[in-house]
Amino acid sequence: MFTKPSRRLRAALVLPLGLLLTGCDWVVLNPAGDIARQQANLVVVSTALMLLIIVPVMALTGLFAWRYRATNTAAAYEPDWDHSTKLELVIWSAPLAIIIALGSITWLATHLLDPYRPLTRIDATHAVAPGTRPIDVEVVALDWKWLFIYPEQNIATVNELVLPEGRPVRFRITSSTVMNSFYVPALAGQIYAMPGMETKLHAVFNQTGTFNGLSANFSGPGFSHMHFVTRSVTGQGFDAWVAGVRKAGAGLDRATYLALDKPSEQVPVIHYANVAPDLFDAVVNMCVRPGKLCSGEMAAIDAKGGTGKSGLLNVAALTYDKQGHEQVVSSNPGFADASLRRFVRDWCADNRPLRAAVARDAAPLLVRSRPLS
């Protein structure tokens, strides 16, 4: 006959599970960067403040259940009791004090740990030396890998991020297709990478080592493989690594980038010995492909009143979709591309008056138009 296990046996079964947890590396609470350390401290302090309410409530719940159990005839039975001013003060004042404390700490940390704010310290005891230049790293989230461009060193890598210990880092982050999230738990909190936009992050490593970086935002079937190696090395080690990349890597021009931009999974580490000028800015402005009008240029034109009907070709070239309309390029003034005609047709499909106007006015225009330079 099956018997209920004893308390000692149940404790013996649970104990190995606790031992397994001791082997876990809780990198979020044990990071290697000052920003991540301050964020970890914020998590600990916030949790402790909340436990000041949670623990007493849980303890009192058990106490009341035991004290007023049905078999305890000695407990006072007061069915008409419904109010206690003293108890109300305790119930509301304690949580209110915790909320005020949490709000104050969060407000201060929001400004002090603003990812756009340049660093003022390396750690709790060392400030950033006057005149220190942060190392710039431009980050591009691709499907499904990470591209890191070092503009000062004129090199680039795929799925490998190497940074010198003790030197502030200034990240510029974007995405080539869909929204993603750049996250190195040992370094700092996650920052979103969005197409056509640029986000920033300032951080620093306080110790050397190898850490994991990943995408923290689902972005398609290859998302689970969007991990990259992050290494913190000494200043001399960083210089040696840069020299090695320059010797062993190929060049990253715009044609190479467009090939790299195609969806792929589990891509190994790749090194590029040099990078095309302003490649990152072209990615942000969605104009890496030759002949495309940059979104910033289009915004400047719109700010001055636009180009009217003569801008149809440029609008089509800015359209990103699966039909290939973004590949509309014409260096011939008399060229009329069939895909551009499809773009105009689809654009006007649900608007009969506009479709009639396009049929009357736009067809000759498509032949005469040329891309804006």
pLDDT of residue 228: 96
Q: Is residue 96 within 8 Å of residue 181, measured between CB atoms?
A: no
pLDDT tens for residues 116-130? 999 999 999 999 999
Continuous H helices in the chain: 7-21, 34-67, 85-112, 235-248, 254-260, 279-284, 295-303, 312-317, 338-347, 352-357, 363-368
pLDDT at 322 over 70: no
pLDDT at 352: 58
- Enter the pTM of the model: 0.76
Task: State how far the Cα of 348 lies from the Cα of 206, in Å rounded to an integer.
Answer: 57
Give the per-residue pLDDT at 78: 82
pLDDT tops 60 at residue 186: yes
pLDDT surpassing 80 at residue 369? no
Residue 357 pLDDT greater than 80, yes or no: no
Looking at the chain, which residues constitute the CATH 1.10.287 domain(s)? 22-112
pLDDT of residue 287: 87
The fold for domain 123-284 equals Immunoglobulin-like (2.60.40)
Lookup result for tokens 């230049």: 133
What average pLDDT is seen over the chain?
A: 82
Q: Give the model's pLDDT for residue 364.
A: 45
Q: For residues 56 and 1, give the distance between their C-alpha atoms in angstroms, rounded to a whole number.
A: 41
Contact between residue 371 and residue 330 where contact means Cβ atoms under 8 Å apart: yes
Is pLDDT of 39 > 90?
A: yes
Joined together, the tokens standing for residue 33 give 């960067």
- The model's confidence at residue 232, banded by pLDDT at 50, 70 and 90, is very high
Q: Grade residue 328 by pLDDT with cuts at 50, 70 and 90.
A: very low
* 292 burial level (CB within 10 Å; 0-12, 13-18, 19+): buried
Where in the sequence of the chain do the CATH 2.60.40.420 domains occur? 123-284
Residue 120 identity (one-letter amino acid): T
How far apart CA 19 and CA 21 sit, in angstroms, is 5
Structure tokens at 189: 């909190």
Q: Does CATH number 3.40.50 belong to domain 22-112?
A: no
With cut-offs at 50, 70 and 90, classify the pLDDT of residue 349. Answer: low
- Weakest mean pLDDT among 185-194, 254-263, 291-300, 305-314: 305-314
The distance of Cα 193 from the centroid of its chain, to the nearest Å, equals: 5
Give tens-digit pLDDT for 194-214: 999 999 999 999 999 999 999
58: phi > 0 → left, psi -120 to 50 → alpha, else beta; which?
alpha
Segment 7-33 shows an average pLDDT of: 68
Who has greater pLDDT, 124 or 17? Answer: 124
pLDDT tens-digit map of 70-113: 888 888 888 788 888 888 888 889 889 999 999 999 999 999 99
Tokens of 175: 């995405």
Top pLDDT among 78 and 239 is at 239
Per-residue pLDDT, 289: 86
**Res 309 pLDDT > 90:** no
- The better pLDDT of the pair 15, 68 is held by 68
